[in-house]
Amino acid sequence: MNKSRRPNFILFITDQHRADFLGCYGHPVLRTPNIDSIAARGTTFDKFYVASPVCMPNRSSLMTGRMPSVHGVRSNGIPLSMNSVTFVDLLREAGYRTALIGKSHLQNFTPHDPIVKRPAPREGYHEPPKELAQALRNDLADKKYEQETPQYWDSKEARVATPFYGFDHVTLVRAHGDEPGGDYDRWLEARDPKAKHLLGPKNALPHDYRVPQAYRTAIPEELYATSFLGERAEAYLEDSDPDAPFFLMVSFPDPHHPFNPPGKYWDMYKPEQFPVPEAFQRNDWTPPALVQAVIDERQAGKANLTGMNTIGVSAREAQEARALTAGMIACVDDAVGRVLRALEKSGRGGDTVVMFTSDHGDHLGDHRLMLKGAEQYQSIVRVPFIWSDPQTDARAVRTDALASTIDIGATILDRARIEPFSGMQAKSLLPVLENGKPVRDSVFIQYDHQSPSPGSDNVPPRVHTLIDGRYRLSVFHGTGWGELYDLQTDPGEFDNLWDQPAHAATRARMMERLALTEIEHVDRVPLPTRRA
């Protein structure tokens, strides 16, 4: 590897995009030629996993190279403290121009009150003041953590204050669907003042899809948020200083639900093109308790069909969700192509590492589920990661080396020849990329949530998972049960080996490894200031 130059970096990241929904990951229907072109010039990771299968925790782990239990964003609803050092901070300090174009979700983007709250004081007890009511003092109630909320953007003068977690330049979209807000609203107003009357499900075009959260947006594809982000990234590259290295994150809010691909992308794929998921074809599968509870809730008509958490779906709904998701991904792929062409036009393609990943997946009908939740199936914990470095000879390489979202920042810093900060728990993937040498024997995944899952006895679920390449072990706090799957013989994860005597030794070995992993990820900062 030629490391004589400090390269530029572009990181494309999508939202709720499972690994197998890309052409280069073997999808039999979906075509993604532009993303595939990145893989054709680099290395594709087949066993790349999230640190947490939910937005804010995993995005915070990407930025810090630390696990959710350590950086503090254990679940959605907790902003990443601006006291946290990010890998982007280190790039910026070393002279890189840093830019975020798209979704951040390092802060809350709804105005809703939290579900988890401090209990009311007991009768006759003195309640400490707010600054002493939690074990660690924090400033998370400060207005600087409101920069992704709709109220913040009510002002026409609103801008993200920079540096923002290390980013010098921020062009923000703060939500999903065709109403993502942030800087998009001003761009849309400038492009077509009448277009705001086309936004949202209330203005949707007619369609015959039954899957929850599907609506046919009236916004044309050239005014949709994905097109906006492609244009803004293109403009950033056109205006970049040729004498300064840059790090650019292009963060798409799609293909996250609602399912609303614009224009031609709505009809690009048909539900009938997608096979019925395996779970609907098997009579020998007994769903785990939490999964059965989700399915039962939908069948009883009690599921929240407009929310963010896992719901049960029918086979037809799964096919519809897959077709619409494929349309949104195709739209993203075209925007990626636009940015890649701008990169080549800038003359800096030969000095720029290009990456592609996502923050988590979506069940999309697997196990008769849709969206995401406490379930730890491959459909939501396994995501794409592609690394293309023009200064190497790697072309269309595939690796089954285990890797995690937390490793991205460490790898970028290593490639830029910048030392990481103390307390980073990530591993650089350069040994994998340079000579195929694995750097992990397992990946660690943490899940925490504010709201209870169906069947969890009104207890917010907490799940820790270990994957060693062959087995997936998941321990569900407070339930008395867990999951153990052999991903080699049972890639669909239908046969839970947790209670099977023949696999007791494997379960014990995995539990021991999980315990050692928990110890490994206890924080090691702040560093000591004296011996004692």
Q: Which residues of 424-456 are buried (b: 16+ CB within 10 A; e: fewer)?
A: bbbbbbbebbeeeebbbebbbbbbbbebebbbb
User: Residue 458: what pLDDT?
Assistant: 66
Helix crossing, 407-415 with 55-64: angle to 10°? 30
**pLDDT > 90 fraction of the chain, expressed in percent and rounded:** 94
Token pair for residue 60?
């915070």
Please indicate, yes or no, if residue 2 is contained in any of the structural domains. Answer: no
Bond from prior residue into 128 cis (ω within 30 degrees of 0)? no
Rounded CA separation 311/28 (Å): 26
The residue segments making up the domain with residue 264 are: 8-111+140-440
Please indicate, yes or no, if residue 83 is contained in any of the structural domains. Answer: yes
**pLDDT > 70 fraction of the chain, expressed in percent and rounded:** 98
Please indicate, yes or no, if residue 358 is contained in any of the structural domains. Answer: yes
CA 491 to chain centre: 22
Please indicate, yes or no, if residue 300 is contained in any of the structural domains. Answer: yes
Please indicate, yes or no, if residue 494 is contained in any of the structural domains. Answer: no
Token pair for residue 19?
């690994």
Please indicate, yes or no, if residue 467 is contained in any of the structural domains. Answer: no
State how far the alpha carbon of 494 is from the alpha carbons of 289, 313, 497, in Å. 13, 17, 9
Token pair for residue 329?
């991904």
Residue with tokens 């999980």: 514
User: Residue 513: what pLDDT?
Assistant: 98
- Mean pLDDT, the chain, as a whole number? 96
In terms of phi and psi (left: phi > 0; alpha: psi -120 to 50; beta: otherwise), the region of 446 is beta
Please indicate, yes or no, if residue 526 is contained in any of the structural domains. Answer: no
Three-state DSSP class for residue 107: coil
Domains identified in the chain, total number: 1
Helix crossing, 33-40 with 315-345: angle to 10°? 60
User: Residue 4: what pLDDT?
Assistant: 52
Residue with tokens 């810090």: 64
CATH number of residue 67's parent domain: 3.40.720.10
Rounded CA separation 82/423 (Å): 16
User: Residue 443: what pLDDT?
Assistant: 98
pLDDT digits (tens, 9 = 90+) for 367-417: 999 999 999 999 999 999 999 999 998 899 999 999 999 999 999 999 999
DSSP string, 110-160: S-PPPSS-PPPPPTTPPPPPGGGSSSS---TTSGGG-TTSTTGGGSTT---
Please indicate, yes or no, if residue 343 is contained in any of the structural domains. Answer: yes
Mean pLDDT throughout 337-346?
A: 98
**Does the pLDDT value for residue 1 go beyond 50?**
no
State how far the alpha carbon of 63 is from the alpha carbons of 81, 277, 413, 439, in Å. 12, 34, 12, 20
Mean pLDDT throughout 234-261?
A: 96
pLDDT digits (tens, 9 = 90+) for 412-467: 999 999 999 999 999 999 999 999 999 999 999 999 999 888 867 768 899 999 99
Rounded CA separation 340/233 (Å): 10
Token pair for residue 221?
């594809």
